[in-house]
Chain A
Amino acid sequence: MSGSEPGQNPKRAHHDLGGVAKFLCERVDTAPYALTLFDRRVDALRQILGASGIMRVDELRRGIEAIPEVEYHRLSYYQRWVRSIVDNLLRKRIITAAELWAALAARDGGGQ
């Protein structure tokens, strides 16, 4: 057995959390949290994109893992998913940034 401390391995990716020392003293929040409608809708979209062959769950994970560490821990679970889904659909040219910006502007301007 090597003497290294796996909980402090500098080579690990930041999502690779097993045994990581800095969380060992953090208590687990065991309180029940109901999912919001936003959470459910993001989850449903992920499933639809998977079922239609547009984006695999492995691609979702890759996109989540690509979120910088500070953001990764700041964003909620389904906020990370939105980041990843957008990133994947942009990479695959299913959508473009210009289309997203236009849709955001339309929503702003439309008072929604």
Chain B
Amino acid sequence: MTRLGPGTRVIVRDDWPETRGEAHIRTPHYVRGREGVVVRHLGNFPNPEDLAFARPAATVPLYHVRFDPNTLWPPPRSADVLLVEIFGHWLEAR
């Protein structure tokens, strides 16, 4: 997978595996389908979606991605920035 550099604009996949059966997902619902900006690559880790079921897990990149709360929430909101750890296979470069 191509490494996403700092500043890359990304879209979080609008996908809902938990509606299709047993799943363990670390991408919070509120950022799915939303646009963010990569802050940095945090490292590579075994995919928890497989670890949770004791399946062999590929190593996947993990990024810190920043979101503008105005694109996530209606009022009341008082955060200025949201930083979320998101695995690379959930991100598409814009």
Are A and B associated in one complex?
Answer: yes
Residues of A within 8 A of B (CB): 1-2, 5-7, 9, 11-13, 16, 18-19, 24, 56, 58-59, 61-62, 65-66, 92
Q: Is the interface of B mostly helix, strand, loop or mixed?
A: loop
Q: Ordered nearest first, which 8 A-B pairs have the shortest CB separation?
A: A12-B29, A58-B51, A62-B52, A6-B30, A58-B52, A62-B24, A11-B16, A13-B18
List residues of chain A with CB within 8 A of the CB of B53. 59, 62
Interface residues on B, range: 20 to 34
Residues of B within 8 A of A (CB): 16, 18-19, 22-25, 28-30, 33-34, 48, 51-54, 71-74, 76
A7-B73, A65-B24 known; A18 and B52 CB under 8 Å?
no
**How long is the Cα–Cα vector from A9 to B16 in the complex, in angstroms?**
11
A58-B24, A65-B24 known; A16 and B29 CB under 8 Å?
yes
List residues of chain A with CB within 8 A of the CB of B33. 2
Q: Is the interface of A mostly helix, strand, loop or mixed?
A: loop
Min CB gap B77→A, angstroms: 9
